Amino acid sequence: MVKKREVKTICVGLLLVLYAVINIYMIKEVKCLREDIERNRKEEKEELEALIRGLSGEIKSVKEEVLEAERRLAGKIREEGERIKAYVRKEVERGKSERGGAIKLLERDGELEVQEREAYELLKRGEYGRAYKLYEKIKDVDPSRLKVRYYVIYSLFYGNEMNKENYKYIMEEIEYLRGKGMREEGLSEIERRIKRELEAK
């Protein structure tokens, strides 16, 4: 009976010792776990602070770059503004000069229109020689008037159809006028007559 009680006591003692050992182990584990958590928190905090410092530096750098870009842009805008002002001044001066030239050109064109009407009246009356001289004068002033060039060769040819010395010049003018898009029937008629005369020769 006594032995049973001793065994029981020993078992209880062992259980208490085992419980105490387990408790000590658990306490140590919890302590280690807490230390790991604290260490991780500290490391994360340090990493976060380092990241914030890095971002702050980058933001500052970006701000400086933006300010520098704004300064450069403002400088370019000023330069462009000055260039535009100079260009406008130049264009205004040129415009004044061109207006003066345009007025003279209009006056000249007005005079040429009057002379063209006079030459056409001479042509209608069959005064080919006088019409030719007036048309030739207009052509010398403004060679771009295709109708005038047409009437130059028209009056020259019909003023003296038999004057073959004029044929080469007339044919060259016909080719020029056609190259510029003129399709007057009178050109074809003059060309046919000249070719017929040259073939008859």
**pLDDT exceeding 70 applies to what percent of the chain?**
88
Q: Cα torsion for 32, 34, 37, 38, to the nearest 10°?
A: -110
Q: Is the pTM of this model over 0.75?
A: no
Could you say which DSSP state residue 164 is in?
G
pLDDT at 150: 95
Tokens read off for 26:
């658990």
Identify the pLDDT of residue 126. 92
- The string of pLDDT tens digits covering residues 16-29 is 777 777 878 778 87
What type of residue is 67?
L
Q: Which residue has the higher pLDDT, 96 or 39?
A: 39
CA–CA separation, 100 and 95 (whole Å): 8
Identify the band that residue 135 occupies on the pLDDT scale cut at 50, 70 and 90.
very high
Average pLDDT, integer, range 171-177: 95
Instruction: Give the mean pLDDT of 136-150.
Output: 94
CA distance linking residue 138 with residue 143, whole number of Å: 8
| Residue 153 near residue 131 (C-beta atoms within 8 A) | no
- pLDDT computed for residue 83 by the predictor: 78
Q: Percent of the chain, pLDDT > 90? A: 39
pLDDT at 47: 81
Instruction: Using pLDDT thresholds of 50, 70 and 90, give the confidence band for residue 88.
Output: low
Q: What is the mean pLDDT of the chain?
A: 82
174/100: higher pLDDT: 174
Gap between the Cα atoms of 116 and 134, Å rounded = 8
